[in-house]
Amino acid sequence: MSTVAVTRLIEAYAVDVWRLLTDLPDRAGRHLAGPVELLTPGAFGPGTVWREPRAQPGGGLLVEEFCVTEAVPPRRLVLTSPGFGVDYRITWTLRAARRRGRGGTAVRVTQEALLSDPYGRVVALLLGGLAARAVEHALRRDLADLAFAAERPTGAVEAA
């Protein structure tokens, strides 16, 4: 099992960051993801499943599926995503942090690769370091996109 974790301070309150993470229809409009295909009806929470396109290193898109396994607003969100021989657990942790007298949120995102069959073990041995760097890059990009959306003045979405 490999784990990659990245943390970033976002100058927005945790409730606002949480809303951006969990309001799936609004995420595409805020440039946090491409069009999201919601696969389950109802309110966001454990059991919610969706697909979204994710940019790949070197170009191209891969459509990934995510399932919410835990949601503790506005502090913790745990997702799972199936892979080929490796399944993933992505944990978002939000912690209030004050900076320069203003509200902020320390956001940590951790991705764990969980081997699900022998094929995954072979891939991990061959591509482990390269895959970890690609995952770290993707997580940093996700946090940068989230920070950009959260720190924008209200109304700036339509102008962007």
Quick check: is 96 in a domain? yes
pLDDT in tens, 63-99: 899 999 999 999 999 999 998 778 899 999 999 997 6
Quick check: is 37 in a domain? yes
Residue 104 has a CB neighbour count (10 Å cut-off) of 20
Domain of residue 74 covers 2-154
Give the CATH number, domain containing residue 109.
Answer: 3.30.530.20
Instruction: For 73-134, list the strands marked E by DSSP.
Output: 76-81, 86-99, 102-115
Q: Calculate the average pLDDT of the chain.
A: 84
Quick check: is 159 in a domain? no
Confidence at residue 155, expressed as pLDDT on a 0 to 100 scale: 46
Quick check: is 160 in a domain? no
Q: Is 155 exposed, middle or buried (0-12, 13-18, 19+ CB in 10 A)?
A: exposed
Confidence at residue 16, expressed as pLDDT on a 0 to 100 scale: 93
Quick check: is 110 in a domain? yes
pTM (two decimals): 0.84
Quick check: is 47 in a domain? yes
Residue for token pair 């900076």: 99
pLDDT in tens, 32-61: 767 788 999 999 999 999 998 877 767 788
AA letter at 121:
R
Quick check: is 97 in a domain? yes
Across residues 139-148, what is the average pLDDT? 92
Residues present in the chain in total:
160
Number of domains in the chain: 1
What distance in Å separates the CA atoms of residue 152 and residue 148, rounded to the nearest whole number? 6
